Amino acid sequence: MKCRVCRGPAVIDVRRHNANFCEEHFLRLCRNQVERAIEQHRMLSSGDRVLVAVSGGKDSLAVWDILLELGYQVDGLYLGLGIDGYSGRSEAYARAFAKDRGLSLEVVDLPADYGYDIPNGARAARRVPCSACGLSKRHLFDEAARRGNYDALVTGHNLDDEAAVLLGNVLRWQGEYLGRQQPVLPAGEGFPRKVKPLVRLGERETAAYCVLRGIEYVVEECPMAEGNRHLGYKEALNAIEERSPGTKHDFYFGFLDRAADRFVPVVAEERGAVGSCVRCGAPANAEICAFCRLVERAGGRAPEAGTDVPLLLGRPPTGGVS
Ligand code: SF4
Ligand SMILES: [Zn+2]
Ligand SMILES: [Zn+2]
């Protein structure tokens, strides 16, 4: 097995590209793919202050590392979900990555800071854990990005994630979700720009990237993921990809090229004309935002009116899709 670029011994095959790569050229491929995604979708501009949502897993640590390599100024944010054992181990990897490199990592902890954890809070609020988790993450990541006045919030969603989410959304034709399925969501009133620089890399590649770069990450999956639909969609796509390499890429990027525009107005409508939550001040379409309602039902401590971080509205976006 020889590297496509230098003909030296290869360490990995990437069937989607029908090629093998040595360590040096594989790492370069990963950086190039991220750079290309950033340019193609106008995700970031040089000089942007970037906040990355870090889980302690391979994807978020890989994207943090690659963005630093590309010269961006990137801080991390870790959200502790209070999931027995798993959360502690994930946090340790996130902290170690930041400490070893002298990076800034903010840690928000649901049990300590908001008085609930995902398994018990979701039960009390009569939600499935991933729904309570997703809502908490969206709210607290947005809030941290506003508070820190960051230009963009980065997440580690990779091609496998995006293709699986797309499959789920297409199977039910969920227009609102399809409208959000962009590699970039531009900033809106009270919402940071959200970007996914790993959309051109699969999870096998981000795992290999971490191994080759000596990045240690939590390998186990979140126990709450077991049996959820998303994993089922991933397995289905993996079976198809096995027989036809490149299908995930064509499915996702074909959607972006040919269909995604049709669904964007649904989100623009939803992101416009929002008011503020009377409890926490976050953008909301009701008196009390969905996060504060969740915290209340989960038996946690909602932020009190006037004591939460003020909204930093009106900062002009420095990039994003037009
Ligand atoms: S699997 Fe569900 S509960 Fe676990 S981190 Fe993901 S969204 Fe949260
Ligand atoms: Zn090579
Ligand atoms: Zn609120």
pLDDT at 311: 35
Closest C-alpha among 189, 181, 198 to residue 317: 189
Q: Which helix (H) or strand (E) holds 109?
A: strand 105-109
Can you list the pairs that 285-289 forms with residues at least 24 positions away whose Cβ atoms lie under 8 Å?
289/139
Question: Each residue of 130-155: b (16+ CB within 10 Å) or e?
Answer: bebbebbbbbbbbbbbbebebbbbbb
pLDDT at 265: 72
| Tens of each residue's pLDDT in the chain, 322 residues | 999 999 999 999 999 999 999 999 999 999 999 999 999 999 999 999 999 999 999 999 999 999 999 999 999 999 999 999 999 999 999 999 999 999 999 999 999 999 999 999 999 999 999 999 999 999 999 999 999 999 999 999 999 999 999 999 999 999 889 988 999 999 988 889 999 999 999 999 999 999 999 999 999 999 998 878 899 999 999 999 999 999 999 999 999 999 999 988 766 655 654 789 999 999 888 999 999 999 999 988 866 554 444 333 223 333 332 2
Q: Is the dihedral of CA 88, 93, 96, 101 positive or negative?
A: negative
Specify whether the CB–CB gap between 196 and 183 falls below 8 A: yes
Residue 154, strand partner residues: 52, 195
pLDDT at 188: 87
Minimum-distance ligand to the CA of 293? 3
Sheet of 105-109, strands arranged across: 105-109, 73-80, 49-54, 152-154, 193-195, 184-185
Query: Hey, whose CA ends up nearest to atom 1 of ligand 1?
Result: 225
pLDDT at 270: 54
Specify whether the CB–CB gap between 87 and 220 falls below 8 A: no
Q: Which atom of ligand 1 is nearest to the CA of 134?
A: 7
Q: Which helix (H) or strand (E) holds 295?
A: helix 290-297
Q: How far apart are CA 121 and CA 82, in angstroms?
A: 10
pLDDT at 217: 98
AA letter at 204: R
172 alpha carbon to ligand 2 midpoint, in Å? 43
According to CATH, the topology of domain 36-270 is Rossmann fold (3.40.50)
Return the number of other C-beta atoms located less than 10 Å from residue 229's C-beta. 12
pLDDT at 271: 60
| CA torsion, ordered 114, 100, 138, 127, to nearest 10 deg | -60
pLDDT at 301: 83
Query: Hey, whose CA ends up nearest to atom 2 of ligand 1?
Result: 130
Query: Treating both helix axes as pointing N-terminal to C-terminal, what angle do 159-171 and 203-213 enclose, rounded to 10 degrees?
Result: 160
Q: How far apart are CA 66 and CA 158, in angstroms?
A: 13
Cβ-based burial of 217 (10 A; exposed 0-12, middle 13-18, buried ≥19): buried
Return the DSSP state at 245. T
Minimum-distance ligand to the CA of 292? 3
C-beta 222 within 6 A of ligand 1: yes
pLDDT at 264: 80
307 alpha carbon to ligand 3 midpoint, in Å? 11
Show me where the domains of the chain are located.
Answer: 36-270
Q: How far is the first Cα of the chain from the last one, in angstroms, to the nearest whole number?
A: 43
C-beta 133 within 6 A of ligand 1: yes
pLDDT at 266: 65
Return the DSSP state at 114. I
C-beta 130 within 6 A of ligand 1: yes
C-beta 53 within 6 A of ligand 1: no
Minimum-distance ligand to the CA of 10? 2
pLDDT at 321: 29
pTM: 0.92
